[in-house]
Amino acid sequence: MSVLSKPYFHDEEAAFRYLESIVWTDGATCPHCGGVDRITKVKANPEKRIRVGLWRCGDCKKQFTVKVRTVFEHMRLPLHKALQAVYLMTSSKKGVSAHQLHRVLEITYKTAWFLSHRIRESMRSGDLAPMGGDGGIVEIDETFIGHDRTIKPKGDKKGRGFHHKYKVLSLVDRNTGRARSMVVDSLRAADLTPILQANIDYEAFVVTDEAGQYRFLDQHFAQHDFVSHGRGEYGRGQIHTNTIEGYFSIFKRGMKGVYQHCGKKHLHRYVSEFEFRYNNREANGFNDRDRSREALRGIVGKRLTYSSTGLEA
């Protein structure tokens, strides 16, 4: 026996039962009218083209499956294969490429690519609560990745430095062990400060490196201190950015090693994926199975259309 021999990875009925147990914690609920009392299961019958996982609501007389109003709606791929993909993507520290899903699941590359974006969408956190509200330390740092071809090199500095790269800003709340990341267009203090104020409580103790854009953060937060990497300093007691640098190192190794090419249009989705795995990591009390269930809980109330992924373009 292995994890991969679980019935819901192979049998469509079992796959639906598994997903239903995660999404409908209080029993089957009609997504059309919210009814819960007169729901009956419709028996699957391939000859009459009655699908697996179908339910009927006695209140509004409509039929539905657990996939309605989730990122899996309109997905023609068998659900048990999608569950395999969720498990692979949530349990691999640096992610799984669409090419690998295409080979392992024996589905087309296009299906694999779109499926991986559905799963990324389910991993996207809606957590907007400010970090550091308990007066704890929030580390702030930025990293550069890829090559933004919309930015022209200045003067003769062709392609050197960070100017032409995508910029990702991340925060780590050291007390909760959770990270939050976003793709930003600029690292100027005037552009970053409002973003930081929206995501960090003013009671927080913020820690950064010596970069100029962070110089005046003490005006916006209870405390600010920084490490001078330029002077060879890596930290003084709790004043360090080692947590966030560790987070970035996994992100960058994954983006380079697994995903390789990523345009700006999709970068925020990959950023969410790494953030999800970090926030639901072993040290925060999640094993691979919990992490996979957490991603499946995240399918609800989200939609992903071909046009929103830009796949048609």
Minimum gap (Å) between residue 53 Cβ and Zn ion: 16
Q: Please name the residue that has the structure tokens 């999404």.
A: 23
Cβ distance to Zn ion smaller for residue 30 or 192: 30
Minimum gap (Å) between residue 247 Cβ and Zn ion: 44
Cβ distance to Zn ion smaller for residue 63 or 176: 63
Q: Please name the residue that has the structure tokens 């003769």.
A: 156
Minimum gap (Å) between residue 57 Cβ and Zn ion: 3
The dihedral sign for the CA sequence 92, 98, 100, 103: positive
Q: How far apart are CA 309 and CA 110, in angstroms?
A: 12
The verdict on 33 binding Zn ion (CB under 5 A) reads yes
- CB-based contact 196:140 (threshold 8 Å): yes
Q: Which of 11, 20, 59, 245 binds Zn ion (CB under 5 A)?
A: 59
Q: Which of 35, 130, 133, 136 binds Zn ion (CB under 5 A)?
A: 35
Q: How far is CA 2 from the centre of its chain?
A: 26
Minimum gap (Å) between residue 66 Cβ and Zn ion: 14
**Neighbouring residues of 251: CB distance < 8 A, sequence distance ≥ 6:** 143, 145, 168, 181, 271, 274
Q: Which two tokens stand for residue 6?
A: 């679980």
Tell which phi-psi region holds residue 146, choosing left (phi > 0), alpha (psi between -120 and 50) or beta: left
Q: Which of 14, 42, 60, 250 binds Zn ion (CB under 5 A)?
A: 60
- Which ranges of the chain does DSSP label H, i.e. alpha helix? 12-23, 79-91, 98-104, 109-123, 189-199, 242-254, 264-279, 288-297, 306-309
User: Could you say which residues in the range 108-147 bind Zn ion, by CB under 5 A?
Assistant: none
Backbone phi and psi for residue 294, each to the nearest 5 degrees, phi listed first: -65, -40
The verdict on 54 binding Zn ion (CB under 5 A) reads no
Cβ distance to Zn ion smaller for residue 73 or 142: 73
The verdict on 30 binding Zn ion (CB under 5 A) reads yes
Q: Which stretch binds Zn ion (CB under 5 A): 10-18, 52-60, 152-160, 177-185?
A: 52-60
The verdict on 57 binding Zn ion (CB under 5 A) reads yes
The verdict on 32 binding Zn ion (CB under 5 A) reads yes
Minimum gap (Å) between residue 64 Cβ and Zn ion: 8
Q: Which stretch binds Zn ion (CB under 5 A): 22-30, 148-156, 195-203, 207-215?
A: 22-30
Minimum gap (Å) between residue 40 Cβ and Zn ion: 11
Interacting residues toward Zn ion by CB under 5 A: 30, 32-33, 35, 57, 59-60
